[in-house]
Amino acid sequence: MTQMRVFVTGGAGFIGSHVARELLAAGHAVTVFDNLSTGHRQQVPRDAAFIKGDLKQDQRLETALAGHDIVIHLAALVPVPVSVLRPVDFTENNVVNTVRLLEAMRRAGVRRIVFSSSATVYGNPKRLPLREDEPVALPSNPYGASKLAAEGFIAVYHSLHGFDATILRYFNPYGPNELCEPETHVVPNIIRAALNDLPIPVFWQGEQVRDYIYVEDLARAHGSVLNLTGLNYFNVGSEKGVKVKEVLQAVTDILGHPLRIDDLGERAGDVPAIYASSERLRKATGWQAKVSLEEGLERTVVFFRGLKAGV
């Protein structure tokens, strides 16, 4: 693969830090652009150039972009429950700032982008596993709406300005470096609570089915699509549907003691089951998930144990 100069927005965050590390290992030059509002400077790999900047800073952004071959756009507000409380902030950050980035790219002559999207754009799926030709549905929350809107603007820049664009629709990423506050994702909440012997909130008795993709596998997916042209949409998942209660059992087995469960019954708005087909990405690039759930959870437990111990 041709070595590229890659500009990573949100590269100090959970997924972005792993993407930057994966790109450097493949021999690419990496610039991380992050305002550190939710990211962490210490998570940026040492060999990456770092610019503390905000996507609202149009001129600073355009100047920083100059000379790069491609942008991987991960900067976004993420927690779904928070999006319900702060829809304007999510629209400003996830949609308007994406358009600001696209405009800065156009002016700087950078016309290739990989975008961090989400399986939430599908809504409540009618068929499983989910494939990319399934229609995107009415989003059930402002976060999903913001990702769908950003996808739309990227498609417009492909059509109007000839951008090469790849949309990666993530399923349920998990792994080391996930330091979100508030934390709303299942895996880190289970592990953090278990390590502190706190009750773990469980809905639907853990029967919901999800597709958990280990973050290093997800990072490799970004590297695999750098040379693609045109407008592409790919699901990125493990292609395995796993019940929440199976994750609970796996963490129990790793820790070697029972977990404290807080059974909260049903919760409105939950999708009963969602998991991916990543066949399209596999055929286009050869990528596939490699890390099993058990191995990924073990690595994640090690990370959070280290945090707890102050290592």
pLDDT at 16 over 90: yes
Among residues 117, 156, 160, the alpha carbon closest in space to that of 136 is found at: 117
The catalytic residue among 122, 143, 157, 212 is: 143
In a domain, 85, yes or no: yes
Q: What is the CATH number of the domain that holds 233?
A: 3.40.50.720
This prediction's pTM: 0.95
Closest by CA position to 103, among listed 73, 77, 79, 123: 73
Tokens of 232: 């592409």
The rounded percent of the chain whose pLDDT value lies above 70 is: 98
CA atoms within 13 A on the CB side of 294: 5
- The domain containing residue 118 runs over which residues? 5-174+213-237
pLDDT band of 141, cuts 50, 70, 90: confident
Query: What is residue 17's predicted lDDT score, i.e. its pLDDT?
Result: 97
In a domain, 49, yes or no: yes
Tell me: pLDDT of 306 over 90: no
pLDDT at 311 over 80: no
Q: Specify whether the CB–CB gap between 184 and 38 falls below 8 A.
A: no
**Is residue 217 in a domain?**
yes
Identify the sign of the CA torsion 35, 17, 99, 68: positive
The number of folded domains in the chain is 1
Q: Is residue 294 part of a domain?
A: no
At which residue do the structure tokens 């229609």 appear? 135
Are the C-beta atoms of 1 and 70 separated by less than 8 Å? no
262 domain residue, yes or no: no
Catalytic residue list contains 143: yes
* SS3 (DSSP) at 227: coil
Q: Is residue 101, in this structure, part of any structural domain at all?
A: yes
